């Protein structure tokens, strides 16, 4: 059985046809410009592919509350052309198929839980550290929505006193995304993140902020596994630093089986950056 999957990002849209085994049959990447330009390309690509349903993992904030009058619409976004755009409605109208929706990060979390390193794990946090920071959260096997959806990239993190960088978040002076996203690294050090590979000070500070973010999520959500994806996490030297700092911060406040095995507790995304699109396909399967 084939399903349509869309990873809707602020800069690009990835559209794919996915087999229920998790095999990606075909994939297309198009730039996110305006709904008038981008949506017809998505619909054209999917319309003759004999897919049974479509799933979308979307940038946010997006209304994922099914009984809300604005369900399926993009909400307040700096991408003004997309503000209040009815993404689910446009896909339903254009394709005449059922459409499943969640956030991009919840989709990635679901992808890892279905096909990746979190198979069989019911309480999972998936964090992307890229242009922004976002967290997908599963509790008891179910993706967490609540009143809307979590925006855990904006949790408050104490800034290191000696850090001369400014938060890049327009809303918060000292939030996770503002201090630790790719653009924040680049603003603080005046270079592209990949040009800073050999500068240990950069990754010490970055791992400190990430560890603090994780610490808050560990204590609040009690995940059994934390998966870190996104462009910044291609710097794999961050993993041992983050594990060490999380262990230090927790300071044996509690000791669990999972925390005793840090290498399998805080792990890289396992699906070659396809976790989002595969999760979107699972949203289609479940619709």
- Among 34, 151, 148, smallest CA distance to 82 is for 34
Continuous segment of H or E residues that includes residue 216:
helix 200-221
In angstroms, rounded to a whole number, what is the distance separating the alpha carbons of residues 191 and 180? 14
CB of 154 to Zn ion, least distance (A): 4
92 touches Zn ion by CB under 5 A:
no
Beta strands (DSSP E) in 181-247 are 225-229
Residue selected from 113, 193, 202, 205 as contacting ligand ADP according to rule CB under 6 A: 193
230 touches ligand ADP by CB under 6 A:
yes
Residue selected from 154, 216, 250, 285 as contacting Zn ion according to rule CB under 5 A: 154
Stretch that binds ligand ADP, among 27-35, 137-145, 187-195, 247-255 (CB under 6 A): 187-195
Stretch that binds ligand ADP, among 82-90, 117-125, 224-232, 258-266 (CB under 6 A): 224-232
- Residue 111, phi then psi, degrees to nearest 5: -60, -45
Compare residues 194 and 253 and give the one whose CB is closer to ligand ADP. 194
User: Closest-CB residue for ligand ADP?
Assistant: 182
Neighbours of 239 (CB within 10 A): 18
131 touches ligand ADP by CB under 6 A:
yes
Continuous segment of H or E residues that includes residue 90:
helix 87-95
77 touches ligand ADP by CB under 6 A:
no
Assigned token pair, 167: 């938060």
Stretch that binds ligand ADP, among 16-24, 192-200, 201-209, 211-219 (CB under 6 A): 192-200
* Range 157-176, binding Zn ion (CB under 5 A): 169, 171-172, 175
Beta strands (DSSP E) in 41-200 are 54-58, 99-103, 124-129, 133-139, 142-143
Residue selected from 116, 178, 182, 279 as contacting ligand ADP according to rule CB under 6 A: 182
């Amino acid at each position: 059985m084939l399903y349509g999957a869309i990873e809707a990002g602020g800069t690009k849209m990835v559209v794919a046809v996915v087999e229920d085994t998790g095999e990606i049959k075909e994939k297309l990447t198009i730039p996110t410009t305006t709904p008038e330009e981008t949506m017809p390309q998505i619909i054209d690509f999917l319309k003759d592919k004999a897919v049974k349903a479509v799933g979308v993992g979307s940038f946010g904030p997006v209304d994922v509350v099914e009984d809300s009058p604005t369900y399926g619409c993009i909400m307040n976004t700096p991408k003004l052309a997309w503000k209040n755009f009815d993404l689910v409605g446009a896909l339903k109208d254009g394709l005449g198929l059922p459409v499943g929706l969640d956030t991009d990060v919840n989709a990635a979390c679901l992808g890892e839980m279905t096909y990746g390193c979190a198979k069989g794990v019911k309480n999972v946090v998936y964090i992307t550290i890229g242009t922004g920071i976002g967290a997908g959260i599963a509790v008891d096997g179910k993706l967490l929505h609540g009143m809307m959806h979590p925006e855990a990239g904006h949790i408050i993190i104490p800034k290191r006193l000696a850090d001369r960088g400014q938060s890049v978040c327009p809303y918060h002076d000292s939030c996770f995304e503002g201090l630790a996203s790719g653009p924040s690294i680049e603003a603080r050090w005046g270079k592209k993140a990949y040009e800073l590979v050999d500068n240990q000070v950069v990754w010490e500070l970055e791992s400190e902020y990430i560890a603090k973010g994780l610490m808050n999520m560990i204590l609040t959500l009690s995940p059994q596994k934390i998966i870190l994806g996104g462009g910044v996490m291609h710097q794999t030297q961050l993993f041992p630093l983050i594990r060490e700092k999380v262990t230090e911060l927790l300071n044996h406040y509690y000791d669990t089986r999972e925390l005793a095995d840090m290498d399998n507790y805080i792990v890289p995304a396992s699906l070659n950056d396809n976790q989002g699109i595969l999760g979107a396909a699972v949203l289609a399967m479940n619709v």
